[in-house]
Amino acid sequence: MATQWTTAQIPSQSGKTALITGANSGIGYQAAVELARAGAHVLLGVRDLQKGSEALRKLRATVPNASAEVVQLDMASLASISAFAAGFAARHQPLDLLINNAGVMALPHRETTADGFERQFGTNHLGHFALTGLLMPQLLAAPHPRVVTVASLAHRNGKIDFKNLQSEQKYVPWDAYSASKLANILFANELDARAAHSRLVSIPVHPGVATTSILANGPGLKDLKSRLVTLLAPFLFQDDAMGALPTLYAATAPEANGGEYIGPNGFQEFKGYPGPAQLKPQAKDTATAAQLWAVSEQLTGVIYPPLA
């Protein structure tokens, strides 16, 4: 891997179709811009169509010849996910790239999705588990499909407690978020293992500490931002364009391999260019990954087809 991999090294994506969840802002938007710039047809998956339309106008102003569209996709609703997947299947076209990016972080009080799941676990993990499974026929129809799932440094403190998976017994905002991000990695690596005899590769990534809206609007972080960002930002944070580089590397670099974990290569992986990232032991637990997969199929009702 190049020590300073940048968007200049993205190979042509002409003829490819990419779907990015949460693409109206932050890392998702930056990934959409660069994939469109490289020639891909980009679907901006968004919950709010007005915000999505604004992002699309901004994208087209940045990349005038962009091939892009907004699609409604609420990752906190299995009905929305199913409706999108059915609509995409009706297009009868392959999906070359799926970037599972949308997320919510450390909600101060326990909330639930439309399906009754704890909102962070339901949105960050179960929604993307369901979406990926429902789109699997279109992914497997592509010549070299990739699934990139955006995790977080927070996985380091994550724990999958199957007795409190939905935080019914006890809800701690950062614990729930960390568990959902750990689930992202376990899912991504289990998917790659199951797809070992297919063309599909699955790669988890993390953006370091990027100054995206999910960070700026997180509970307790607005005050922190007002007091400390001016001093600490140059040392600890990076902008969302840099934060998107691990995602773009995993999505496009010919040398990116399934099952790798990619993040910034700087101090403590806070910022920097894409490089190998550290997985904590709980993220390598294949037994937990297999159990989480089975539970996720049960909760979502999405059963994956054979991936060979």
Which pLDDT tens digit goes with each residue over 153-195?
999 999 999 999 999 999 999 999 999 999 999 999 999 999 9
Q: How far is CA 226 from CA 3, 221, 236, in A?
A: 33, 9, 15
User: What's the CATH number where 182 sits?
Assistant: 3.40.50.720
Q: Is 3 contained in some domain?
A: no
What pLDDT is recorded for position 33? Answer: 98
* Mean pLDDT (whole number) for 116-126: 98
CA gyration radius for the chain? 18
Q: Is 98 contained in some domain?
A: yes
Residue 227 has pLDDT above 70, yes or no: no
* Mean pLDDT (whole number) for 115-140: 98
Q: Is 206 contained in some domain?
A: yes
Q: How far is CA 25 from CA 30, 184, 214, 235, in A?
A: 8, 20, 9, 23
Residue 61 has pLDDT above 70, yes or no: yes
Q: Is 168 contained in some domain?
A: yes
Residue 241 has pLDDT above 60, yes or no: yes
| DSSP-derived secondary structure for 2-47 | -TT--GGGPPP-TT-EEEEETTTSHHHHHHHHHHHHTT-EEEEEES
Q: Is 306 contained in some domain?
A: no
Q: Is 10 contained in some domain?
A: no
What pLDDT is recorded for position 220? Answer: 47
What pLDDT is recorded for position 217? Answer: 46
Tokens (6 digits) for 112: 């639930």
What pLDDT is recorded for position 13? Answer: 98
Return the DSSP state at 112: B
* Mean pLDDT (whole number) for 49-65: 98
Q: In the structure, what pLDDT confidence band is assigned to residue 307 with cuts at 50, 70 and 90?
A: confident
Residue 214 has pLDDT above 70, yes or no: no
Task: Give catalytic residues, as residue numbers.
Answer: 177
Angle made by CA atoms 118, 203, 37, in degrees to the nearest 5 = 100
For the stretch 22-53, pLDDT in tens is 999 999 999 999 999 999 999 999 999 999 99
* Domain with 285 in it: 15-300
Tokens (6 digits) for 278: 């550290």
What pLDDT is recorded for position 213? Answer: 46
Half-sphere exposure of 31 (CA within 13 A, CB side): 37
Tokens (6 digits) for 255: 């040398």
Answer whether 186's CB lies under 8 Å from 289's CB: yes
Tokens (6 digits) for 43: 């679907």
Q: How many domains does the chain have?
A: 1
Q: Is 21 contained in some domain?
A: yes
Residue 2 has pLDDT above 70, yes or no: no
Q: Is 164 contained in some domain?
A: yes
* Mean pLDDT (whole number) for 112-137: 98
Q: What is the share, in percent, of the chain residues with pLDDT greater than 90?
A: 87
For the stretch 77-92, pLDDT in tens is 999 999 999 999 999 9
